[in-house]
A and B are shown apart, each in its own frame.
Chain A
Amino acid sequence: MQDTLAAEALLVERCQQGDTAAFDQLVEQHGQWVYNLAYRMTGDREEAHDIAQEAFVRAFGAIKKFRRGSSFSTWLYRVATNACLDEIKRRRRRPAPASSLVNEDRLEPDPPDSAPDVAEHIESLERQELVRRAIASLPLHHRLTLVLYELQGRSYEEIAHITKTNVGTVKSRLSRARLALKDALEPHLELLRGG
């Protein structure tokens, strides 16, 4: 763990000196969750791809401001979160039609080899799709808190730091996000419980 952090610190330092190759490595390391954060926030892969790029571009531009000793991933979360929020707000004027929230290809992936039952796998995909759409319908900050906590596994403290709030606010938002999610999924609760 210490080695990983030291290696990351070295990469960051190289990036701060303008080494784009080092930044490529950072993108490789953190691209997955940055993209996922954007995807869960937008519910759209293409938008998520754009936002992830934007987040990394912003990060590279601001990486000289990154202070050693703090967590790079938390800092990058903050940058990525801001990129997400900015992009979502920017695109609010042209909200995507409801149909676009349905990820058609998401419903037709090849079942994993470990899937014991195809029907169960399909049900799981349906539940995920329902939840994805329900998440996308949440208020922005509730959505962000829920994604960071439930899907990204960030702690209350980290989320408070990322979103520039306090832990109490994070807890409150998370609670309300869950309740709102339950309301959104109310018609499909049976399917969810079946899972």
Chain B
Amino acid sequence: MRCDNVIELFSRYREADLDPAARGELEAHLAACDRCREEFASLDAICATLRELRPEPAPAGLARAVRARLDARRERPRAVLMRWAVPAAAAALLVAAAFGVMRLTPPREAARRAPMPARVPVSAPHLGREADRATIRELESVAPPAEQERMDTAALDELPAPSAVPSAKLKVEPEATPKREPGRTPPARAVTPSIERGAGAAGPPPPPAPLAVRPSGVAAEPKRKVAPSAEAPKTGEVGAGAFYERAARPAAPTEEAAGTRAHVADQMTLSRDLSLLEVSAEASETQVADGRLTLQLKTDRTVENARVSLRFAETDEGETVLWEGTLEKSKVNMREVHVPRPRPGSAGAQQQVVVSGPRLDSRAYYVFAPSAPGRAAAPPATVGARVRGKPENKRAALSGTWNDVLQAAAFENGVYILAPADFPVREQVPVAAPPPKPTLPHALNRIGYGVRQQKGAWTIEPVPGRESAPRRAGRSRR
């Protein structure tokens, strides 16, 4: 018998758990092995000490303490409920705020029939840096090329006035509807539509003020009124409005979805036929599949009170439908804004649009989409402008031509206007002379951006070292 085995058998030996043969063998080994005998003696001493341990008296207050805990436990269910209620509610709010799903309605037939446009990915690296990091860009074009050169704003003034917006008030200076006089183009005139927030509006958060782009001095055109559908209530208040606004669809369904990435702030799913849509947005993930565009707007931090405004347009039977979606907090407000297309060659096409706004300096994102119909080397349809400096500079920097905007609606069949929800067009001023051409690259260059054509796609990107440089005309690449 080996010594290791002997030690292992101590407990069994002590507990008399060994058969007589094994016991005899063990005892014989112990008699012959001093070391094992010592080990056994030590183990015996330890066991004796264990037995020597006196039981500790229980604390006198044990029963009382147990009773107190039991009594406290009876009050616990409510406390537990309250303890978890707030975190649970907060978690639900966070989830709701983090993920919203915005859906639009199915596509229009005309949009479906529209020819496939060239895809124009746009990159604007400055986006996504702002407070809510929720800037997106997208491009779409749907208008037939044959109509690209025929733009008119004539019908703008003849649009019916939508009813009051529940939570946003649209103020447009009334003006006489210009009568159409064939062959004569009325002089340009200044019109200043403005949009103000409705004060004290109750109920849901106010929808974004629409980008009130209104040309003036347009030639009259046969009225092309697109009446809102019966089930779609009017939400705009348009005098001789710059645009026709109708409420959108019935309340857009909002869904909550589990996020895949912690920094995904918002997710919008636009359910419509977007097979023609190319989306490119910095700091966002886009996916166009099965007629559904999914934008995942990412931020590097949790976005609270996030507000995302998405506007894009499609051309549909003589009018530009400006889809406007706002994701505000966890609620989604959707509106459909119809901007009738101007007639080609109208004065409106030369109307300069000056946009300015209180938050223009940091968040405004105005997209000009000039085009050169029929020209393959046309500049891209989108430019993003972040303006710094004094208000006058902002104004200058964001000056563009109405022509640009409207032509953009034709260029590649789309006009794309992305702006914060509270990004208003405060005024439009006529221009004495047609703006220089091309205007967009110059404007881009003034704000430190250049245009790059790569693999048939145009991208707008900052010119290194120019972003903070004094604005001056620069070279543009076309």
List A residues at the B interface (Cβ < 8 Å).
Answer: 20, 23-24, 27-28, 31-36, 39-40, 45, 48-49, 52-53, 56-57, 60-61, 124, 127-128, 130-132, 146, 150-151, 171, 174-175, 178-179, 181-182, 185-186, 189, 192-193, 195
Q: In whole angstroms, how far apart are the Cα atoms of A59 and B7 in the complex? A: 40
B155 to chain A, nearest CB (A): 73
Complex CA distance for A24 and B69, rounded to whole angstroms: 12
Q: Which of B52, B57, B69 contacts A57 (CB 8 A)?
A: B69
Q: Which residues of B contact A36 (CB under 8 A)?
A: 55-56, 58
A53 to B58: give the CA distance in the assembly, Å. 11
Within 8 A of A (CB), among B60-82: 62-63, 65-67, 69-70, 73
Answer yes or no: B199 CB below 8 A from chain A CBs: no
The answer to whether the Cβ of B34 comes within 8 Å of any Cβ in the partner chain is no
Contact, CB under 8 Å: B62 / A31: yes
CA gap between A178 and B54 in the complex, in Å: 19
Query: In this assembly, does B8 line the interface, its C-beta being within 8 Å of a C-beta of chain A?
Result: yes
Which stretch (B43-51, B267-275, B385-393) binds chain A?
B43-51
**Given A32-B55, A32-B58, A35-B56, A195 and B8 contact (CB-CB distance below 8 Å):** no
Partner of B52, one of A31, A35, A128: A128
Whether A171 contacts B11 in the complex (CB less than 8 A), given A195-B49, A195-B52, comes out as yes
**A150 — nearest CB in chain B belongs to which residue?**
B50
Contacts of B53 in A (CB 8 A): 40, 128, 131-132, 151
23 A-B pairs within 8 Å (CB atoms) are namely A24-B63, A27-B67, A31-B62, A32-B55, A53-B65, A53-B66, A56-B66, A57-B66, A61-B73, A127-B52, A128-B53, A131-B50, A146-B50, A151-B50, A171-B11, A178-B11, A178-B43, A179-B8, A181-B46, A182-B42, A185-B42, A186-B42, A192-B42
- Does the CB pair B10–A175 fall under 8 Å? yes
Q: How far is the CA of A150 from the CA of B53 in the complex (A)?
A: 10
Pairwise interchain contact A192-B59, C-beta atoms closer than 8 A: no
Interchain CB contact under 8 A, A49 and B65: yes
Which B-chain residue is minimally distant from A48 (CB atoms)? B56
Cα(A146)–Cα(B66), bound, Å? 27
Contact A189 B45 (CB under 8 A): yes
Bound CA–CA A118/B329 (angstroms): 78
- CB of B475 closer than 8 Å to a CB of A: no
**Chain A residues with Cβ under 8 A from B54's Cβ?**
128
**Cβ of B43: which chain A residues have Cβ within 8 Å of it?**
178-179, 182
When distances are taken between beta carbons in the complex, the residues of chain A under 8 Å from B8 are: 175, 179
In the A-B complex, list the 10 residue pairs whose CB atoms are closest, starting with the nearest.
A175-B11, A35-B58, A27-B63, A56-B66, A192-B45, A150-B50, A31-B58, A31-B62, A32-B58, A193-B45
A97 vs chain B, min Cβ distance (A)? 21
> Is the C-beta of B17 less than 8 angstroms from some C-beta in chain A?
yes
Q: Which of B41, B51, B52 has the most chain A CB atoms inside 10 A of its CB? A: B52
What residues of B have a CB within 8 angstroms of the CB of A32 in the complex? 55, 57-58
Residues of A within 8 A of B48 (CB): 192, 195
A174 surroundings in chain B (CB, below 8 A): 11
Q: Is the CB of A150 within 8 A of B12?
A: no
In whole angstroms, what is the CA distance A130 to B63 when docked?
30
Chain A residue with the shortest CB-CB distance to B42: A189
B-chain residues with CB within 8 Å of residue A33 when the two chains form the complex: 55
A-chain residues with CB within 8 Å of residue B66 when the two chains form the complex: 23-24, 27, 52-53, 56-57, 60
Q: Which residue of B lies closest to A174 (CB)?
A: B11
Query: In the complex the two chains form, what is the Cα distance from A84 to B156 in whole Å?
Result: 80
How long is the Cα–Cα vector from A45 to B58 in the complex, in angstroms? 9
A171 & B51 in contact (Cβ 8 Å cutoff): no
Q: Which residues of B contact A151 (CB under 8 A)?
A: 50, 53, 55
Residue from B49, B55, B70 within 8 A of A131 (CB atoms): B49
What is the chain B residue whose CB lies nearest that of A106? Answer: B56
Residue from B7, B46, B47 whose CB has the most chain A CB atoms within 10 Å? B46
Q: Which of A40, A48, A182 contacts B46 (CB 8 A)?
A: A182
Determine which of B7, B11, B62, B67 lies in contact with A49 in the assembled complex, contact meaning CB atoms within 8 Å: B62
Residue numbers in B under 8 Å from A53 (CB-CB): 62, 65-66, 69
User: Contact between B70 and A60 (Cβ–Cβ < 8 Å)?
Assistant: yes
Q: Which of A39, A179, A186, A193 contacts B7 (CB 8 A)?
A: A179
Residue A35 contacts which of B39, B62, B73 (CB distance < 8 angstroms)?
B62
Smallest Cβ-Cβ distance to B41: which chain A residue: A193
Residue of B nearest to A59 (CB): B66
Cα A60 to Cα B74 with chains together (Å): 12
* Chain A neighbourhood of B70, CB < 8 A: 20, 23, 57, 60
A34 contacts which chain B residues (CB < 8 A)? 58
Tell me the bound Cα distance from A164 to B56 in angstroms: 26
Within the assembled complex, what's the spacing in Å between the Cα atoms of A86 and B137? 55
The distance from the CB of A76 to the nearest CB of chain B, in whole angstroms, is: 13
Supplied contacts A27-B66, A45-B56, A171-B15, 15 more A-B pairs, CB within 8 Å: A27-B62, A32-B55, A32-B57, A32-B58, A45-B59, A52-B58, A57-B70, A127-B49, A151-B53, A171-B11, A171-B12, A175-B10, A179-B43, A193-B45, A195-B48
B67 contacts A24, C-beta separation under 8 Å: yes
Residue of A35, A53, A57 contacting most chain B CB atoms (<10 Å): A53
How distant is the Cα of A60 from the Cα of B50 in the complex, in angstroms?
32
CA distance A55 to B12 in the complex (A): 33
Chain B residues, CB < 8 A from A27: 62-63, 66-67
Q: Is the CB of A178 within 8 A of B47?
A: yes
Closest Cβ of chain B to A159, distance in Å, is 13
Chain B residues whose C-beta falls within 8 Å of the C-beta of A131 in the assembled complex: 46, 49-50, 53
Q: List residues of chain A with CB within 8 A of the CB of B17.
A: 171
A132 to B70, CA, bound (A): 31
Q: Is the CB of A128 within 8 A of B49?
A: yes
Chain B residues, CB < 8 A from A39: 56
Q: Which residue of A lies closest to B39 (CB)?
A: A182
CA distance A39 to B58 in the complex (A): 10
Smallest CB gap from B62: residue in A: A31
Q: Which residue on chain B has the smallest CB distance to residue A181?
A: B46
Contact A35–B59 (Cβ < 8 Å): yes
